[in-house]
């Protein structure tokens, strides 16, 4: 009876490893993406303010495009190449305090980016520089969810709409799915429990 139990747990563990392997089978996203658009510096109530007093970013129209919260992908390399020169969308956010996570922060073509952290590295009357991390997703399931870094620079005359520059790059590390980690943990816990029971009986 105990041998059967141990064998079943062992098979569950092998099954967990197989599921983990299949989840990691998709390649990570590699490359960089840069975008541009317009923004307004805003306060915590989302009212327009000076760049010096800003606590958040309200994105506007990209160039001559009429819709609010639009971006232009002006450089895309690697796996992002197909979205080069396309139009995407971006969501407003507060950076002081940080309103993270934002899911998604931006989306263009089949890619979207969830912002998980941000740090303000410079905040002057004419400039705001922010860096952070996030997860890039591919809606076609060609690529695995991939962790990446991003940097944003907002420049302009205080209180006016100005263009911003943004770039994100991946670190080529797929992000394990929660279900996969749960299965793997269950398998390991089962084997550990079976071994403890066997040792106690002996």
Residues 47 and 128 in one domain: yes
pLDDT in tens, 52-94: 999 999 998 776 666 889 999 999 999 999 999 999 999 999 9
Give the pLDDT score at 5: 31
Please indicate, yes or no, whether residues 10 and 67 belong to a single structural domain of this protein.
no
Q: Residue 17 belongs to what domain range?
A: 2-24+179-201
Percentage of the chain beyond pLDDT 90 is 50
| Residue-by-residue DSSP string for 134-165 | EEEEETTSSSB-EEEEEEEEEE-STTS-EEEE
Residues 101 and 19 in one domain: no
* pTM of model > 0.85: no
Q: Are residues 146 and 195 in the same domain?
A: no
Task: State how many domains the chain has.
Answer: 2
- Using the predicted structure, report yes or no on whether residue 113 has a pLDDT greater than 50: yes
Q: Are residues 166 and 187 in the same domain?
A: no
Query: Are residues 12 and 48 both part of a single domain?
Result: no
For residue 153, list its beta bridge partners.
129, 165
Per-residue confidence (pLDDT) for residue 101, from 0 to 100: 95
Residues 75 and 157 in one domain: yes
Q: Distance of CA 56 to CAs 45, 200, 202, Å?
A: 9, 60, 64
């Amino acid at each position: 009876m105990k041998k059967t139990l141990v064998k079943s747990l062992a098979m569950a563990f092998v099954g967990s490893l197989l599921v983990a392997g299949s989840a990691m089978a998709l390649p990570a996203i590699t490359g960089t993406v840069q975008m541009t658009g317009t923004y307004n510096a805003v306060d915590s109530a989302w009212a327009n303010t000076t760049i010096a007093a800003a606590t958040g970013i309200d994105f506007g129209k990209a160039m001559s495009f009429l819709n609010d919260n639009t971006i232009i992908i002006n450089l895309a390399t690697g796996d992002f190449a197909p979205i080069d020169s396309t139009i995407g969308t971006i969501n407003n956010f507060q950076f002081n305090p940080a309103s993270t996570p934002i899911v998604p922060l931006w989306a263009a073509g089949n890619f979207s980016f969830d912002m998980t952290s941000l740090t303000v590295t410079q905040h002057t009357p004419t400039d705001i520089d922010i860096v952070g991390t996030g997860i890039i997703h591919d809606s076609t399931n060609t690529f695995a969810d991939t962790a990446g870094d991003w940097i944003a620079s907002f420049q302009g005359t205080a209180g006016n709409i100005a263009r911003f520059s943004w770039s994100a790059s991946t670190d080529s590390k797929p992000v394990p799915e929660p279900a996969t980690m749960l299965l793997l943990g269950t398998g390991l816990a089962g084997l550990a429990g079976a071994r403890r029971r066997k040792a106690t009986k002996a």
